[in-house]
A and B are shown apart, each in its own frame.
Chain A
C-alpha cells in the first residue's frame, strides 16, 4: 500500500508539468488576441501595447510559459487581465463554492442513485425496476438548463420558497447558503444519480448471480447481510471509479448550472475567462481542476483497497 502510494505520488509532478504544457499550448491556439479583447470598444493602440507589455504577451511563448510556471512555483498564478485581481484570489474565492456544489450534488446523486440501482437490481424485471429505469432515463436525458429554469419558475417565481439564484456564503448565513444551493445541487445531482443508478444496477445484477452469493444464502445469512455486506461491497468498486470521475468533473465547474443559478464557481469563471481571452485565469482554473482530478483518482484507488480486500495482497 505504502509503496503503491509513493509510486502514485511520484508520477503526480511530471503529470502536472505535462498538463501545464498542454494547457498553455492549447490556449495559444485559440484565435483572438487577449490584448485586443481587453482593449474594449475604443481600442486605443497605446492601451493595447500597454496590456501586451504588462502581461508579457509581447514575449515569445516559451518565455511566457517560463514566467508563468516559475510564478506558480512561488504561489503566484498571475493576474486576471479582465478584472485585474490576482488569479490565486479568484481561485480561492471560487474553489470552496465549487467544492460545496460538487459535494452536495454528489450527496444527492448517491442518495438517489445507489438505492435506486440496488432496488432496481433486486427487483429485476418487475415494476420497481421499471420505475427506477424511467426515473434514471429522465435524469439522464433532461438538460440541466431546462430543469434549472423550470425549478426556478416553480420554486422561486410561483411558490416563492427558494431564492431564484445567487450565492450566499455558509459562513454568513448557513440557511441562506443551503437555500441557494439546493436547486443547483439537485439539478446536477439528478443527472449523476441516473448514471450511478445504471451502473449500480448492472454491477449488482452481475454480483447477485455469482456463486458466493448463493453460498452466503445457503449458509442462512440474513438477506440484509447478503446484500449489504457481500453483494454491495463487490458491486461498489466500479461505482467508486465512476464517482471519482464524476466528482472530478463537478470540480471542473458545472458551466450551465452555475450560469443559470448564478453560482460563482469554477464553471462561470472559466467560461468568462475563455471568452475574454483571460489566459492567466483559464490556466489557473484548468491546472487546479487537473490536480483535483489526479488526486481524486488516487483517492479512488485507495478506496478500492478499503472495500475490496482481495486487492490488498
Chain B
C-alpha cells in the first residue's frame, strides 16, 4: 500500500511539472541529427533545415523555383554571361554585430572555394574571382558562362557567415556558427538538441514571430509523430507516408506536402566498369527498355509511398516547368517487354539490383522484383548498407543500383553531374559526346527558353540510353500543430521560418 501511494504521489508531481514551455518557442522535430553546422562543410538535408533559421543566403527560391532576393536585392549578368553582379541589401548585420557587405561576400565565396574539406568547391568551381565593386556591390566572375550559378547561390553556397567569426573559429566554426539569418545560435548538444533564438538585429525581424526554436532529432517516424501528438513538438518534417491519413483526420494537427525536386531511380552500369559488359542490362539497350516497360510506376507509388509520390521518368517531376513534355511517363507494357527480350535473345535476364537497406529502397526493390518477373526478369536484390553501396557505385561494382537524389533547384544540378562524361556522380558510366555538348550548351545562356530546348534534347538521349531509369519523385510530408500558421511548402523541402507563428 505504502509503495502504491508513493508511486501515485510521484506520478502526480511529474504530471504537474509537465508542459510549461513558452508559447513563443517553436519545437521542431528533425528526422536525424544534423552534421557540422558550417555551410561550407555541411552535407545533409537536416543541417539545411537548421541553416534556414540561422543563415540567410544571397538569393532564395520561391515555391515555383523562381530565384528571389534575400541578402542580394538585385542581380544582372554581363553581356558575355561571364560575370554576375549582385547588389546587396543595406543595413544587414551578422549575429555578432559585424556588417554584411561585399567584402563579406568575397570572404565567403573564397572560403567555400578554398577551405579544406569544403563541400561547396564543386558547386562554385566555375567562379574564378570575386570583385568588390563597392561596399554593396559584388561581382562573381566565371571562366565560361555558367547559368546554374545563380540557383547554386540559393543553397549553402550562397549562405553568408560572419568573416570575423569564420576567421576566429577556422574549421571549428560549426561549434558556434555566426550568420545573418533570423535566428542566432545558442547551443547544440549532439543528438539531443540545437537551440536558436531570435536575432533582434535581423533585417526583416518584424516578420519573425518566434523568440526561440528548439530542433530535436527523432529518428523513428512513429516516435516523432507521437511527440507531435503529445505536444512535445509543434512541427515535424518527413512524416511517414503511412501516417498521413491519420494526421489529416486529426483536427489538432495539420498536414502539408509538396513534390520534391529530387527523384528515386535505378542507375544502370552501362560503361562504368567491365561489369557492364557482362550484365544483360548494361550491355543491351533493348533489355533496358524491356526492364523499364515491365515496371508500373503507379503501382510502386501505391505500394511503397501510399500513393503520395509523383511517378516520373525524368530528372524533374512531370509538374515541373522544366519537364520535357514531349516525353511523358511510359505506361507499363509487359507484352512489349517480353517481345523486346525475345528480340534481344535473352528471355530471362538476371538483374543484380544493389539496394541500400533503407525502408523505401528495400520496398521499391521488392516491388520492382515482382513486376519485372512478369516480363521474365530474374531480379536478385543485393541488400547493401548505404555507405557500402555508395562505394560499390563509385567503383562500378554493380549492375543496377537504387539511388535517390535530393535534387537541386536548377535542373542542371540533377543532370550534369550524373550524365556528363566522367562527372563525379556519373555512376552509370554514360559517356556520350553529343549529350556532353548539349549539357554544356545549356550552361552557356541564362535564357530559360534556350536552356529548356537543350534539356529537351538531353531528355531524348538520356531516356533512350537509360543510364538511369527514373521512377518517381517523393513528396516532402510535414505535420504540425493546427495552431501554427504561415507555413508554406517549398519544393526544396526546407522550411522558411519567417512568417510562421502560433
- The answer to whether B385 and A156 have CB atoms under 8 Å apart is no
- The answer to whether A162 and B121 have CB atoms under 8 Å apart is no
- The answer to whether A50 and B118 have CB atoms under 8 Å apart is yes
- Cβ 8 A contact of A157, one of B123, B190, B229: B229
Assess A47 versus B191: contact at CB under 8 Å? Given A163-B232, A178-B14, A262-B217: no
Contacts of A36 in B (CB 8 A): 387, 390-391, 394
Which has the most chain B C-beta neighbours within 10 Å: A40, A90, A262?
A: A262
Q: Which residue of A lies closest to B216 (CB)?
A: A166
Within 8 A of A (CB), among B264-296: none
In the complex, what distance in Å separates the CA atom of A269 from the CA atom of B38?
21
In the complex, what distance in Å separates the CA atom of A51 from the CA atom of B220?
30
- The answer to whether A32 and B391 have CB atoms under 8 Å apart is yes
Shortest CB distance A87–B (Å):
11
- The answer to whether B191 and A37 have CB atoms under 8 Å apart is no
Q: Which residue of A lies closest to B394 (CB)?
A: A36
Q: Which residue of A lies closest to B230 (CB)?
A: A156
Assess A32 versus B385: contact at CB under 8 Å? Given A93-B189, A259-B219: yes
- Cβ 8 A contact of A37, one of B122, B192, B227, B387: B387
- Cβ 8 A contact of B11, one of A161, A260, A272, A277: A161
Assess A84 versus B38: contact at CB under 8 Å? Given A38-B43, A90-B190, A179-B14: yes
With A44-B119, A163-B19, A166-B232 already in contact, 11 other A-B pairs whose C-beta atoms are closer than 8 Å? A39-B43, A42-B424, A47-B118, A54-B117, A152-B230, A160-B230, A164-B229, A261-B223, A269-B191, A272-B191, A276-B387
Complex interface bits, A9-34 against B, C-beta within 8 A gives 1, otherwise 0? 00000000000000000000001111
Within 8 A of A (CB), among B217-265: 217-220, 222-223, 226-227, 229-232
Shortest CB distance B214–A (Å):
9
Shortest CB distance B141–A (Å):
21
Complex interface bits, B111-123 against A, C-beta within 8 A gives 1, otherwise 0? 0000011110111
In the complex, what distance in Å separates the CA atom of A39 from the CA atom of B43?
7
Shortest CB distance B409–A (Å):
14
- Cβ 8 A contact of B192, one of A47, A156, A167, A182: A167
Q: Which residue of B lies closest to A111 (CB)?
A: B3
Enumerate 12 A-B pairs (CB-CB under 8 Å) in ascending A order. A32-B387, A43-B394, A44-B122, A47-B122, A83-B34, A149-B222, A153-B226, A164-B223, A173-B17, A175-B13, A262-B192, A262-B223
- The answer to whether A44 and B14 have CB atoms under 8 Å apart is no
Chain B residues bordering chain A, tally (CB within 8 A): 56
- Cβ 8 A contact of B425, one of A32, A38, A43, A82: A43
In the complex, what distance in Å separates the CA atom of A43 from the CA atom of B424?
7
Task: Decide yes or no whether B35 CB sits under 8 A from chain A.
Answer: yes
In the complex, what distance in Å separates the CA atom of A67 from the CA atom of B99?
42
Task: Decide yes or no whether B74 CB sits under 8 A from chain A.
Answer: no
Q: Which residue of A lies closest to B217 (CB)?
A: A262
Contacts of B13 in A (CB 8 A): 175
Assess A42 versus B119: contact at CB under 8 Å? Given A175-B14, A264-B191: yes
Task: Decide yes or no whether B367 CB sits under 8 A from chain A.
Answer: no
- Cβ 8 A contact of B116, one of A54, A165, A182, A261: A54
- Cβ 8 A contact of A164, one of B175, B191, B227, B424: B227
In the complex, what distance in Å separates the CA atom of A82 from the CA atom of B171?
13
Assess A84 versus B226: contact at CB under 8 Å? Given A36-B391, A39-B43, A262-B217: no
Task: Decide yes or no whether B2 CB sits under 8 A from chain A.
Answer: no
Complex interface bits, A42-63 against B, C-beta within 8 A gives 1, otherwise 0? 1111110011011000000000
- The answer to whether B387 and A275 have CB atoms under 8 Å apart is yes
- The answer to whether A164 and B35 have CB atoms under 8 Å apart is no
Task: Decide yes or no whether B36 CB sits under 8 A from chain A.
Answer: yes
Task: Decide yes or no whether B33 CB sits under 8 A from chain A.
Answer: yes
Task: Decide yes or no whether B487 CB sits under 8 A from chain A.
Answer: no
- The answer to whether A162 and B43 have CB atoms under 8 Å apart is no
Contacts of B43 in A (CB 8 A): 38-42
Within 8 A of A (CB), among B388-408: 388, 390-391, 394, 405-406
Shortest CB distance B354–A (Å):
12
In the complex, what distance in Å separates the CA atom of A259 from the CA atom of B220?
7
- Cβ 8 A contact of A84, one of B11, B119, B174, B406: B174
What is the interface of chain B, defined by CB distance below 8 A to chain A? 11, 13-15, 17-19, 33-36, 38, 41, 43-44, 116-119, 121-123, 171-172, 174-175, 189-193, 216-220, 222-223, 226-227, 229-232, 385-388, 390-391, 394, 405-406, 417, 424-425
- The answer to whether B119 and A40 have CB atoms under 8 Å apart is yes
Task: Decide yes or no whether A268 CB sits under 8 A from chain B.
Answer: yes
Contacts of A33 in B (CB 8 A): 387, 391
- Cβ 8 A contact of A160, one of B118, B191, B231: B231
Contacts of B424 in A (CB 8 A): 42-45
In the complex, what distance in Å separates the CA atom of A178 from the CA atom of B15?
11
In the complex, what distance in Å separates the CA atom of A260 from the CA atom of B223?
6
Contacts of B417 in A (CB 8 A): 42
User: Considering the complex of A and B, which 6 residue pairs feature the smallest CB-CB distances, nearest first?
Assistant: A40-B43, A32-B387, A264-B192, A37-B387, A44-B122, A156-B230
In the complex, what distance in Å separates the CA atom of A167 from the CA atom of B189?
11
Contacts of A260 in B (CB 8 A): 220, 223
Q: Which residue of A lies closest to B192 (CB)?
A: A264
Contacts of B223 in A (CB 8 A): 149, 152, 164-165, 259-262
In the complex, what distance in Å separates the CA atom of A277 from the CA atom of B390?
13
In the complex, what distance in Å separates the CA atom of A152 from the CA atom of B228?
12
Task: Decide yes or no whether A176 CB sits under 8 A from chain B.
Answer: yes
In the complex, what distance in Å separates the CA atom of A42 from the CA atom of B36?
16
Task: Decide yes or no whether A85 CB sits under 8 A from chain B.
Answer: yes
In the complex, what distance in Å separates the CA atom of A53 from the CA atom of B43?
18
Contacts of B390 in A (CB 8 A): 32, 36-37, 43
- Cβ 8 A contact of A277, one of B118, B171, B387: B387
Shortest CB distance B465–A (Å):
22
In the complex, what distance in Å separates the CA atom of A46 from the CA atom of B222?
39
Contacts of B231 in A (CB 8 A): 160
Within 8 A of B (CB), among A206-252: none
Q: Which residue of B lies closest to A153 (CB)?
A: B226
Which has the most chain B C-beta neighbours within 10 Å: A93, A94, A157?
A: A157
In the complex, what distance in Å separates the CA atom of A34 from the CA atom of B390?
11
- The answer to whether A157 and B226 have CB atoms under 8 Å apart is yes
In the complex, what distance in Å separates the CA atom of A272 from the CA atom of B33?
9
Shortest CB distance A157–B (Å):
5
Shortest CB distance A18–B (Å):
28
Contacts of A44 in B (CB 8 A): 118-119, 121-122, 424
In the complex, what distance in Å separates the CA atom of A248 from the CA atom of B483?
45
Shortest CB distance B22–A (Å):
14
Contacts of A277 in B (CB 8 A): 387
- Cβ 8 A contact of A163, one of B122, B189, B230, B405: B230
Q: Which residue of A lies closest to B189 (CB)?
A: A93
- The answer to whether B406 and A41 have CB atoms under 8 Å apart is yes
- The answer to whether A176 and B17 have CB atoms under 8 Å apart is yes
- The answer to whether A163 and B191 have CB atoms under 8 Å apart is no
- The answer to whether B189 and A162 have CB atoms under 8 Å apart is no
